[in-house]
Structures are given as C-alpha cells and as structure tokens.
A and B are shown apart, each in its own frame.
Chain A
Amino acid sequence: QSALTQPASVSGSPGQSITISCTGSSSDVGLYNLVSWHQQHPGKAPKLMIYEVTKRPSGVSNRFSGSKSGHTASLTISGLQAEDEADYYCCSYAGTNTPFVFGTGTKVTVL
C-alpha cells in the first residue's frame, strides 16, 4: 500500500483560504469515505482535525473543512491564522488488511 500523495508545502497570508490535496487510489481514498486529517505542530503529537471526509471533532474550529472528489480528498483552512502553521497529514482507510495509510504530509506556512 503506497502512501497518499500531498503537496510538500502550501502557504497563505492571514485571513486567506488554502486547500491541501491528498491523492490516493481506487483502493483507499476513492473507495471509502473514511479520510481523516491531522494537524501536527513541531515536537507535538498529531491532532485529529477532520474524520470521515467532512466531520469535525468537538472543539475543532469550523475554519477547517474537508471534502472528497474521486481519488482526491482535500482539507480547506479558511481565515488562515498564525496558529494554523503546522504540518498536516491525511489518512485513509484502505481495507481490512491495511486499515490505515497516511499521506506524505504538507507544511503549511502563514506568510
């Protein structure tokens, strides 16, 4: 099972919106609506931001939203803030034998 493909970096100015893509295949992202997104600040554990493609856990800002089209899932951060600067990883269910496959990661920079 190959890692999901994400852009290495995305940047935006405060207040802007940015979108991070996560491209998989017909065996993972394209087959299941079980994509999650994690935010990771340096030296910290990942934090769940989105699950089941579009759902936000309690306490996560509504500035974070998820979507999916075909084999590609996306995370959109609107009203970009300095605290959003972090690494973001997507993750998808990929079947019974390999339940989880992570993305390559995207570094978000707030200009």
Chain B
Amino acid sequence: ETGVTQSPTHLIKTRGQQVTLRCSSQSGHNTVSWYQQALGQGPQFIFQYYREEENGRGNFPPRFSGLQFPNYSSELNVNALELDDSALYLCASSQGTSGGAENEQYFGPGTRLTVT
C-alpha cells in the first residue's frame, strides 16, 4: 500500500452530470498529480497541484478542474460529463516537483468512473 487513498472506488454518472473525485496524499507529500486511464491505455496526465496551486496541465479541456487543500489532499472535478470520460482516474502524490529520482510518485488505487 502506498498511503495514497482515493474516493469513491466506483462511480456511475449520466452524461451531462458533474462529478468530484477525491485524493488524500501520502503523509509528507505536497504534490498531487491526476491521471486519466482509459481501458487498455496508459495513463494520461490531467494536471498537477503543488502547494495548492496548479503546476502544469495536460491536454484536457477546462471542464476538468481541480483543487488542492492546505493539508495537500486534492479534488478533481469534471463538469458536463461525456461518455468518453469513462475511465480509471488515478492520483499520485510526491514530495516536490523537481522530477528527480528522489521525487517518487506514489499512486492511489484509482476511482473507476462510468458515464452512461
């Protein structure tokens, strides 16, 4: 176990609805990254939060938004859900953003979102 937790485990929503996913980072980590993993694909980087500020964003539309709290936990919000948003959403926590080998990313178990 990595110490990174995500909730809920599974979620079913209908097209057009909004969803909020939550991630608690590992103790001592100040950086949270979010990824979308479609079935049979590798994870795709959505965005990263470092000390409550967005610190980089992948190729995702603005209806994907996030938040990081003072305790470094984080939320991923998706508005106007589309069928293609169905995926496993992973968060990963790390200490710092230097990208060196010491900044290991620890992944949570993921939230499986199904949009019908």
On whether the two chains bind one another, the answer is no
Q: Which residues of B contact A (CB under 8 A)?
A: none
